[in-house]
Amino acid sequence: MIEVKNITKTYGLGETAFQALRGVSFSIEDGEFVAVMGPSGSGKSTLMHILGCLDTPTSGSYVLDGRDVSTLPDDELAALRKNKIGFVFQQFNLLPRTTVLRNVMLPLVYAGADDHARDKRARAALAAAGLDDIYFGHRSNELSGGQIQRVAIARALVNDPALILADEPTGNLDTTTGEIVLGTFQRLNETLGRTIILITHEHDVAEHAERIIHIKDGLIIEDEKLHGSKRRRGA
């Protein structure tokens, strides 16, 4: 699904130039659950923006689902984000006075889906994210943090994206609630075959993935496959 070859990203010019990524290469297969882990300033956020088609590399290539997207113009990148990528952020970014169901429907409104399709697909996405249907009519500001993040996951799923990109999705949650959310990602990966990339600085969070790409100072320093007891299980 993803092939990244010798990606670099430089900000600024001349003496003030800063190289956030310094030649990063890796591939991710369809259906993998991969964590990208590194400390603050490691380059993981820059890499996330490139993988999410929110930015383009200075050099190198990024192939997503068979298409080189490295040099695409902004309008084509926007179309890719809408159709191929589902985002889950640390900040939930839901409309607080809008119902759960309508929050999840919102991407389908922009996609031009009719009322029946919006309702059906939003309900299916919420069920896949593990939210009980008794909450579908609640406003998002009436839910717990873990429930809100499940709504955000459902919103990411609703357009049936090829890739789910989760940026520090447990950062605003307590440990127990975070485990539940990470368990949701594991279930989506294992039962629905979703390709998931999880961006984190926490090793305990990264261990819920099948594989950890360690990044530091703009370089990959380790690409670790987790097996058996090394992999944590979410609630």
What percent of the chain has pLDDT above 70?
Answer: 99
In the chain, where the domains are located: 31-55+84-230
Q: What integer is the mean pLDDT of 183-200?
A: 93
Task: Identify the residue with better confidence: 227 or 150.
Answer: 150
pTM of the model: 0.91
- With 0-12 / 13-18 / 19 or more C-beta atoms within 10 angstroms meaning exposed / middle / buried, residue 174 is exposed
pLDDT digits (tens, 9 = 90+) for 15-65: 889 999 999 999 999 999 999 999 999 999 999 999 999 999 999 999 998
Tell me how long the chain is.
235
Mean pLDDT of the chain: 92
DSSP 4-53: EEEEEEEES-GGG-EEEEEEEEEEE-TT-EEEEE--TTSSHHHHHHHHTT
In CATH, which of 3.40.50.1580, 3.40.50.300, 1.50.10.10, 1.10.510.10 is domain 31-55+84-230? Answer: 3.40.50.300
What pLDDT is stored for residue 229 in this prediction? 60
Report the 10 Å Cβ neighbour count for 110.
9
Tokens standing for residue 215: 């990044």
Report the 10 Å Cβ neighbour count for 193.
10
